[in-house]
Structure 1
Amino acid sequence: MLAALALGTAGLVVQPARATVSPPASAAPSASTQAAAPDAARAALLEMRAAFQKGDASRLAALLPRVAGDPLEPLAAYWTLRARLERASAEEVQAFLARWRDTYWEDRLRNDWLLVLGQRQAWEALLREAAAFRMNDDAEVRCYTALARWATGRASAADIAPEVRQAWLTQRQAMPGCAAAAQRLIEAGALPRDVAWQRARLGVEAGRLAVATQAVGLLDPEWVPLVERAYAAPQRYLDDKLTAVRHRTKEIVTLALIRLATVNPAEAAAEAAHLRWRAQLTDEERAWVWGAIGKRAAQRLSDEALAYFARAADAPLPDEWRVWQARAALRAGDWTTVRRAIEALDEPRRREPVWTYWLARALAASGRADDAAAARSLYERIAGSGGFYEQLAAEALGRPLALPPAPPPPTAAERAAVRANAGLQRALRAIDIGLRTEGVREWHYEIALHRPGGLGERELLAAAEWACERGVWDRCINTSTRTRDAVHIGQRYPTPLRELVTKHAQAIGLDPAYVYGLIRQESRFVMDARSHVGASGLMQVMPATARWTARKIGLTSFEPDQITDPDTNVRIGTAYLKLVLDDFEGSMALAAAAYNAGPGRARQWRQGPTLEAAVWIENIPFDETRDYVKQVLANTTVYAAILSGEPQRLSTRLGRIGPRLATARAPDTELP
């Protein structure tokens, strides 16, 4: 298979290229009287990144003078101080923040310093620094800031409890800041102890033991070994427990049942149905158990999922569990339950395009005139060209996808203002010399976080235009996509290498729009992209897949180092995609799922009832693959409109999906 669930630009590394961007006029001046030579600075910066990744503070300090005066000196200075931040003095930190004022790297170090101040409980210093924190996107910083406000008398425990509770329950990892804030609030009686047990349940269900043990340890460290035992061997723990009288025991039994659900939902259901648990656990505890069983059964595409969810009734459950109830109900064609599950979601989740669309479908299925009107209103709210459900909503309103006219191009003044932005200049230089991760972060900061609300629409269009001109396609796409009203399809859906892509696609009977739709999702047209699992190039081809496909198509001269060559990559990638598409009887949805997650998984997921493709896609168990398939198909529809000049319908590319017909040819089990 290809990029195997680790695709997209977030995890890409790019081979270095020579820098061409000029130094920003507004960068802070160096103490050096002469800037480092560009090639020498580039080499030093790449060596500094390696030293930073190793935590080699002395080597960083030795290399720093070699980048004096370079546009990326703020980044080099950040690496150097960050590597020893826990030992740095407050004066050193303030000197850095002053010297690199108004840059991303100033705010990045401020974020790191705020975490240090929080761990030291230096509350007054933390509050002073937090007031200048522009990104303000770190839950740990929010929790420490809330604690500081309480500790200094600026807020009461009741004032900060809701914010801390929300931040703690939604953190994926066991982090110290929010846990410390939650513990103090629990001890003060501002948060109920049950919040810690809820956090533990979420951790166990997500397979994060450290989250669960941290939460329970806040209540009593002596309970942690019991949680570890229940997590490691849930069935054995339950077999040894005949009674659950104490609250602590009931909760750990609940954790064991939830853990068992992640291993085997059917076994968990049989255990949860035992009289002793029905009699001894509370209604709330049993609801969480059945909710966890229902979620895990739904992810396994089990027909029993809805029955499990029904035993949780309408008890409050995490949104992430309720959406799996909605998915299971879609699979079963139970529109009443689809509606009830979506309406139980918190409003922000309910307003997402996916659940807005399916709620509209559920309302429309009722046959009531007032529900039909409400459904139309929901479709209107999300209809557009930008995504899978936006396109389907537009079609429900009778509007095929037609490309909007391009907005007026940036004026000379707008272009000049954006290109004078020192942060964007630094970002492009970083990307040019092979520091893509650092460059992408600084670019995003400048367009989205440097000032409240980010850049305005005209500035975004000008920045996207600049990125497109430089061939930095991922920044072009992502920047242009941030505009709400001025939609520039050419920036959002560029067509680099059109002759090459069209040639290889048409030569084997593949729709070029499908290829473009897949490339946009795979690599954002970063031509020498490489994912952390080794997938390479425009179409993110895995090495073994490339070798297999090259042999299959008779490309005997293929060498592994050729895979980042655009022509070779597209030739092999399109050939593999065509083989997958043919193996899945021309289903674009199945082929995209197979390209991302492997043919074996796609074959497994198609078993069961025959479903409309949108329902099947929404029930793909892997979050990444589900989103991937939706994005590829939505992209394909837009590219079809671009390449044909005609209105398009996403629905024509969906169809229905079910088991392979008995009359179909046997699956190609050699497909990697």
Structure 2
Amino acid sequence: MAKGLWAALALVLASLTQGAHGQGGDDRILAARDAVRSGDRATLERLAAEREPHVLDPYVRYWRLVNILGRPEAPPVNELNEFLLREADSVLAERLRSDWLRRMAREYDWSGFLKVYPDLREPDAELRCLQRNARLELGDLTVLDEVRTRWMELADSHTACEPVFRTLAQAGHLGSDDLWWRARRQIDSRSPSNARTTLSWMNAADAPALADFDRMLKSPAAWLDRLPPNFAVSRAGRELALAALVRIAREDASSAYARFARFEERLGADERAYVYAVLGHHGSLQGAPGAVRWFRAAGKTPMSAEQRAWRVRAELRVEDWRGVQAAIEGMTTAEQAQPEWTYWLGRAHAAQSRPAEAAALYGRIATLPNFYGMLAAEELGSPFAPPVRNGNVTTEDTARVDADPGLRRALALYRLEMRTEGMREWNWSLRGQDDGFLIAAARLALRNEIYDRAINTAERTDPQANYDLRFLTPYRQLIEPQVRQQGLDMAWVYGLMRQESRFIAPARSSSGAQGLMQVMPATGKWVARKIGLSGYHQGMLTDPDTNVLLGTSYMRLILEDLDEHPVLASAGYNAGPGRARKWRDERPLEGAIYAETIPFDETRDYVKKVMANAVIYAAMLEAKPQSLKARLGTISPRLATER
């Protein structure tokens, strides 16, 4: 299509959209949303019967159909199919199809399920499990072979997979080793009671009494203290003892080791190695001094991906580079290719006087604009400087974006403060799009001050371009005076704020953190008292000025409390200053090692991203290369009183 025609089409659509967005049309959409939330069926039916040329009209019909699917009467198959056809390849069609499939699964309509399922674009874990159930229920036994082949990777599957797993076990396709492997994984988790179901699938000769399992889980220490002399005679007896050790190790690995030492010799070599892997993993998370020794005692026993990662981190913490190399080389090929392990393997080679091997590894990731890519590039002598090129956006690209129905719906949803629905529409519209479309969409989001979508959309494009979109600096007139007053580094503040909220002023986390700087209510109250902010109340957190005042003041307070070190302060901002202090070592520690060995997954990822963000912002704000290694610096030892 000619560019001029695209532009004309975009103008026509824009004018139609403008006309359809009158207050009356918006009122109908909002009223329908409120009706479905409150269960007001009559109002929802009435509003759905009305038709207005509003860009969000499909939502009213979608809400009505979802409401019907949740009721006991038979679903309106013709209406459902008509909607799916009319709104084909939309996020609403995907969601309605998912809801319909779940209804059919509840009613055991497996034949209908398998007719609808193939049109689902992105099935979630539950629906993938239900599809296997449907095939099995209709006599397709090939599903058993598929699941058996993938047994190891399905260990953490949705509970909807359990009927297929049960059938697989009862048909004899899973041995006791397979089931004990799954039970061990479940016992070493936040939901250990899930192992009870797995144990129920075992042959009676192999399984422990479920009542014994329940008693062990309720009080693992007491269970171990009362172990009968002949507990090791049976597999079930030994496994329950191992399970009790695991539950204790999750709280106190050193205590678990002390108990393990009492009967270690009564276990088989593989069982001892398993316990040592568990002790090494949880000991590393807890900073236990025996963690490295325990991991080494585990030898080459099979480990989970998380255990393999913490085996490397344990060696890093003591800076045993030979041990780091061995632990990384014990990972899977895919794991070794990840930037963090590529970098640390390079460091291990460099520390052992193998510069060529190190340089080759650094070269694999040095162009990545992330924490480890930057560190690798510095090892090769290139501190970070952002590329200046930006992707080209043509008139045709802009017209395609302006005419995209999903993005038009997204903008309308954001305007009505329906952010979750808007984000779904936006992300759905980006699937499979080229860089020209993505960059134009990012600029559309920026024009509408939807900063998170601008950043996230730009991040889907060439990683060496579009830094102006990926690292925005909105609210600068509000932020800069506070940064100067607090004596903070502007790049660090922007780097932290980008990670916290993506510059969405009304952002609210599941834990209650609010605003641009995601200030927790209790933190806001404490900081307001510290800085003498009179008249403060929790509602003020939604005000961008107050939020930034409290957030930057908190950054200054914890920076002063944590050695003026931005790595410690970033960790403290996310997880609390007490934890940031506790995670230090008894000796000085390289900042990158401290960051990589933070025991909280969220905080570890957060600190690395905040520090990488700060380097990029500094390079852009100061227009000169920046060193991430210099920012990471060295972390001072824990004080004797903190040990």
CA offsets per residue over residues 328-381 of structure 1, 9 Å max, x none?
11001122222222222233333222222112222222223xxx3333222222
Among 513, 527, 530, the residue aligned to 2:508:
530
Residues 1:363 and 1:67: Cα distance change in structure 2 (over 3 Å): farther
Long gaps (5+) in structure 2: 1-10
The match for 1:5 is none
Amino acid corresponding to residue 513 of structure 1 in structure 2: A
Residues 1:185 and 1:50: Cα distance change in structure 2 (over 3 Å): same
**SS of aligned partner of 1:407:** coil
Residues 1:194 and 1:362: Cα distance change in structure 2 (over 3 Å): same
- Is contact 2:87–2:93 with CA below 8 Å preserved after alignment? yes
Q: Which moved more, 1:379-388 or 1:186-195?
A: 186-195
**SS of aligned partner of 1:410:** coil
- Is contact 2:208–2:236 with CA below 8 Å preserved after alignment? no
**In the alignment, is residue 254 of structure 1 matched against residue 242 of structure 2?**
yes
Amino acid corresponding to residue 262 of structure 1 in structure 2: R
| Map 1:70-219 → 2, pairs under 5 A | 70-85=54-69, 87=72, 88-89=74-75, 91=77, 92-118=79-105, 122-136=109-123, 138-149=124-135, 156-157=142-143, 159-162=145-148, 164-166=150-152, 168-171=154-157, 175-219=158-202
The match for 1:425 is 408
- Is contact 1:401–1:649 with CA below 8 Å preserved after alignment? yes
Among 584, 598, 611, the residue aligned to 1:606:
584
The match for 2:331 is 345
Question: Post-superposition shift, 1:61?
Answer: 4.7
Residues 1:606 and 1:395: Cα distance change in structure 2 (over 3 Å): same
Question: Post-superposition shift, 1:502?
Answer: 1.9
Amino-acid identity (%): 39
**In the alignment, is residue 441 of structure 1 matched against residue 418 of structure 2?**
no
Higher percent of residues as helix: 2
Question: Post-superposition shift, 1:209?
Answer: 2.7
Among 271, 277, 289, the residue aligned to 1:291:
277
Q: Please, what is the CA RMSD of the aligned residues?
A: 3.1
CA offsets per residue over residues 210-254 of structure 1, 9 Å max, x none?
422232233379844332222111122223332133333333332
Amino acid corresponding to residue 441 of structure 1 in structure 2: R
The match for 2:296 is 310
Question: Post-superposition shift, 1:592?
Answer: 0.6
Long gaps (5+) in structure 1: 1-20, 28-32, 449-453, 668-672
Among 482, 489, 509, the residue aligned to 1:504:
482
**SS of aligned partner of 1:333:** coil
In the alignment, the residues of structure 1 paired with residue 222 and residue 443 of structure 2 have an alpha-carbon distance, to the nearest angstrom, of 61
- Is contact 1:473–1:526 with CA below 8 Å preserved after alignment? yes
Q: Give the number of the structure with larger relative contact order, counting CA–CA contacts within 8 Å between residues 6 or more apart.
A: 1
| Map 1:464-543 → 2, pairs under 5 A | 464-484=442-462, 487-543=465-521
- Is contact 1:388–1:633 with CA below 8 Å preserved after alignment? yes
The match for 2:8 is none
In the alignment, the residues of structure 2 paired with residue 324 and residue 472 of structure 1 have an alpha-carbon distance, to the nearest angstrom, of 38
CA offsets per residue over residues 55-107 of structure 1, 9 Å max, x none?
77677556645786543343444444334536443715434423432210111
Among 382, 387, 392, the residue aligned to 1:409:
392
Amino acid corresponding to residue 74 of structure 1 in structure 2: P
Q: Which moved more, 1:69-78 or 1:495-504?
A: 69-78
In the alignment, the residues of structure 1 paired with residue 43 and residue 287 of structure 2 have an alpha-carbon distance, to the nearest angstrom, of 53
Larger radius of gyration: 2
In the alignment, the residues of structure 2 paired with residue 84 and residue 255 of structure 1 have an alpha-carbon distance, to the nearest angstrom, of 46
TM-score (norm: length of structure 2):
0.89
CA offsets per residue over residues 191-222 of structure 1, 9 Å max, x none?
33433322222222122134222322333798
**In the alignment, is residue 265 of structure 1 matched against residue 248 of structure 2?**
no
Q: When the two structures are aligned, how many residues end up with a matched partner?
A: 622
Residues 1:568 and 1:204: Cα distance change in structure 2 (over 3 Å): same
The match for 1:649 is 627
CA offsets per residue over residues 295-347 of structure 1, 9 Å max, x none?
11111111111112122211111011121111111001122222222222233
**SS of aligned partner of 1:504:** helix
Question: Post-superposition shift, 1:163?
Answer: 6.0
CA offsets per residue over residues 458-490 of structure 1, 9 Å max, x none?
211111111111111111111111123562001
Amino acid corresponding to residue 594 of structure 1 in structure 2: G
The match for 2:541 is 563
In the alignment, the residues of structure 1 paired with residue 67 and residue 360 of structure 2 have an alpha-carbon distance, to the nearest angstrom, of 53
The match for 1:616 is 594
The match for 2:219 is 233
In the alignment, the residues of structure 1 paired with residue 333 and residue 635 of structure 2 have an alpha-carbon distance, to the nearest angstrom, of 31
- Is contact 2:619–2:626 with CA below 8 Å preserved after alignment? yes
- Is contact 1:26–1:422 with CA below 8 Å preserved after alignment? no
Q: Which moved more, 1:162-171 or 1:148-157?
A: 148-157
In the alignment, the residues of structure 2 paired with residue 432 and residue 182 of structure 1 have an alpha-carbon distance, to the nearest angstrom, of 46
Q: Which moved more, 1:159-168 or 1:283-292?
A: 159-168
Among 556, 560, 580, the residue aligned to 1:578:
556
In the alignment, the residues of structure 1 paired with residue 30 and residue 518 of structure 2 have an alpha-carbon distance, to the nearest angstrom, of 28
Among 349, 360, 364, the residue aligned to 2:350:
364
Question: Post-superposition shift, 1:608?
Answer: 2.3
Question: Post-superposition shift, 1:155?
Answer: 6.7
Residues 1:125 and 1:223: Cα distance change in structure 2 (over 3 Å): farther
**SS of aligned partner of 2:289:** coil
**SS of aligned partner of 1:602:** helix
In the alignment, the residues of structure 1 paired with residue 376 and residue 303 of structure 2 have an alpha-carbon distance, to the nearest angstrom, of 28
In the alignment, the residues of structure 2 paired with residue 345 and residue 145 of structure 1 have an alpha-carbon distance, to the nearest angstrom, of 33
Residues 1:111 and 1:39: Cα distance change in structure 2 (over 3 Å): closer
Q: Which moved more, 1:607-616 or 1:37-46?
A: 37-46
- Is contact 1:342–1:355 with CA below 8 Å preserved after alignment? yes
- Is contact 1:427–1:439 with CA below 8 Å preserved after alignment? yes
